[in-house]
Amino acid sequence: MDILTQILNMNAGGAYGGGKAGGAFDPLTFAMKPQVVIRALCWLFSIVVFGCISSEGWRTDENGKEVCLYNGDAMACKYGNTIGVFGFLASMAFIVGEYLFERMSSVKSRKRYVMADMGFSAFWAFMYFISFVYLWSQWSSAPMPPGGVGSSNMEAAIFFSFFSIFVWALCAFLAYKRFLIGAGDEFTSAFETDPANVVHQQAYTSYSMDNDNDQYSTSPFSGQQQQGMEQQGMEYQQPTY
């Protein structure tokens, strides 16, 4: 529940939803960040996927040749291993990136990191989707291995490939929220610092509603003009002939 609350309240903090650069590092707070928790799940699921396939995904047939348990399709085992290994490495890299993200003083650097996170996470969620469909289709048509050895590992790789779709998609969603926060901050700061907008705001704020009551009042110069004419009339003397 705390992690869900943090996801919904990502607007607090510095640029692009991160903390203020140069702040003190708290390991517990860092470990409870939604991005770090979800990345840890990605890391764990990747270990399960490539670990299950690497350990019992191959068997030796009567000819002494290694055969993949996914219906003898070597590409299925290699693809599952590749996706798991690269997902494992990418998860570790992004966890380190989250640590460095809090220390990025440049807004442009944070923007590049968020865009890379969003793009790669969405792409890897799609790759895991392909992995799930590919492995499941091959396993559904594969014969049961002798004694059922390795079947549980093959099924675990399929299930965790399916779960990985959602955790990587969630990473992309969190990065997208960060991107929206950063884009909004850039627009607001640019609007507020624009000299033309500052002048317009001052002009509008200096206007008083009391002016509406005086719009039909007498001109300030009309009274002075009338008094001047009266004085001229009083001082005027008719000439005598």
- Among residues 92, 86, 95, the alpha carbon closest in space to that of 124 is found at 86
CA–CA–CA angle 171, 158, 38 (5° rounding): 20
Which amino acid, one-letter code, is at 224? Q
Mean pLDDT of all residues in 218-232: 52
Output the CA torsion 173→177→183→186 (10° steps): -140
* Mean pLDDT value across the chain: 78
d(CA 175, CA 16): 9
- Per-residue pLDDT band for 156 (boundaries 50, 70, 90) equals very high
| Residue 144: per-residue pLDDT | 87
Phi–psi pair at 89, nearest 5 degrees: -65, -40
| Residue 22: per-residue pLDDT | 58
| Residue 80: per-residue pLDDT | 95
Report if pTM > 0.85: no
- Among residues 42, 35, 34, 36, the alpha carbon closest in space to that of 127 is found at 42
d(CA 126, CA 165): 7
Q: Mind spelling out the 3-state secondary structure of 51-98? A: HHHHHHCEEECCCCCEEECCCCCHHHHHHHHHHHHHHHHHHHHHHHHH
Residues 3-26: b if buried by 16+ CB within 10 A, e if exposed: eeebbeebeeebbbbbbebeeeee
Domain ranges in the chain are 27-180
Query: Which tens digit of pLDDT belongs to each residue from 32-77?
Result: 889 999 999 999 999 999 999 999 899 888 787 889 999 999 999 9
